[in-house]
Structure 1
Amino acid sequence: MEHSNEVRKILNVGVITVSDTRTFETDKGGKAVIEHLNHIDIQVDKEHYMIVPDDKADINHAIHKLLNDNVDVIITTGGTGVAKRDVTIEVVSSIIDKEMEGFGEIFRYLSYTEDVGTRAMLSRALCGTKENTVIFSIPGSVGAVNLAMTKLISQEIHHIVHELNK
């Protein structure tokens, strides 16, 4: 592949965990994202790892802080389901310029075939772009994080950023 992860621009990545109950000590999903990024030689600066409550204003503020810091990629975990408090997708959808529908479609397919079966239909995983930043919104469970990071995000993160900036 011409612009695979072999083309290694140093990426500036932000991670936002959306949860009313997680702390930095108990945030397994956010830590799993960071571990997967470390495996492909991407470090997340401490100030670019946040935990925010399931609240539209808080999520919006965190995403805009990272956008103002000119990160290349934002990965949110949590708040992607159908419960009343799950509002991450609504916020991200209101921010992005373009949605990459294939990400959510493939994520749900893989979730169905490799992880949770028919419960995959409850996931509203999303990926889109805002100017030169790609935003991935994935469920907060460690299983979903591992699936998204291993099968999709880690495979294409450099390529997507390259495409956004060419």
Structure 2
Amino acid sequence: MSLQQVNERPLVLGVITVSDTRTAETDKGGDTVVRLAEADDHIVKVRTLLPDDALKLIEVMNRWIAVEDLDAIILTGGTGIAKRDVTIEAVGDIIEKEIPGFGEIFRYLSFTEDIGTKALASRAIAGVANNVLIFALPGSVGAVTLGMNRLILPEIKHLVFEVNK
């Protein structure tokens, strides 16, 4: 697949919100991912809201990777340091290659442009599993907006090309 072929088509995405407290009606972080992705002409093929349960999260990600023909999965929520925050551990269990720059730059931008020293507790991560990109963002609208606009959307097509070349 050439970069031109990737650039000429919308990407196909899955969106997972990880939260014990949010509902479909209150999932502003997931709504923001979908809104920004679709505004950038991508297709959100599947979306779900899951509790902070690593096994369920791993099961859904593995199923989507196997059967949904996605270019990327974007997760929001469960990335902090609370005992129930298990998104990073679940993502870490399935990725084959981590993209460390994503978390590093996300924390830097969070520090300088959004939440200051609170960025210290962010564990945002990205990686690749079976040629599918996986991005895990915190659940706040500010964090999702920052991650999508400054990192994911500007680079996602290039990353899809790199993963598939």
Runs of 4+ in 1 over 3 A off after TM superposition: none
Matched, 1:75 2:74: yes
Alignment correspondent of 1:147: 146
Paired residue secondary structure (1:104): helix
**Percent sequence identity over matched residues?**
52
Tell me the alpha carbon deviations over residues 76-95 of structure 1, each in whole angstroms, 9 at most, x when there is no partner.
00000000000000010010
Instruction: Report the Cα distance in structure 2 between the residues aligned to 1:26 and 1:120, rounded to whole angstroms.
Output: 24
Paired residue secondary structure (1:44): strand
Tell me the alpha carbon deviations over residues 28-59 of structure 1, each in whole angstroms, 9 at most, x when there is no partner.
000000011011101212xx100000011111
Tell me if structure 2 keeps the 8 A contact 1:97–1:130: yes
Matched, 1:118 2:81: no
Instruction: Report the Cα distance in structure 2 between the residues aligned to 1:130 and 1:8, rounded to whole angstroms.
Output: 23
Taking structure 2 as the reference length, what is the TM-score of the superposition? 0.94
Instruction: Report the Cα distance in structure 2 between the residues aligned to 1:108 and 1:55, rounded to whole angstroms.
Output: 24
Paired residue secondary structure (1:157): helix
Taking structure 1 as the reference length, what is the TM-score of the superposition? 0.93
Summarize the Cα distance change of 1:109–1:7 in structure 2 as closer, same or farther, 3 Å threshold.
same
Tell me the alpha carbon deviations over residues 70-125 of structure 1, each in whole angstroms, 9 at most, x when there is no partner.
21100000000000000000010010000010000000000000000000010000
Tell me if structure 2 keeps the 8 A contact 1:30–1:77: yes
Alignment correspondent of 2:55: 57
Tell me if structure 1 keeps the 8 A contact 2:65–2:130: no
* Residue type at the aligned position of 2:47: Y
Tell me if structure 2 keeps the 8 A contact 1:138–1:145: yes
Query: How much does 1:8 deviate?
Result: 3.1
Structure 1, gaps ≥5 residues long: none
> What does 1:20-99 correspond to in 2, within 5 Å?
20-45=20-45, 48-68=46-66, 69-99=68-98
Structure 2, gaps ≥5 residues long: none
Tell me if structure 1 keeps the 8 A contact 2:18–2:49: yes
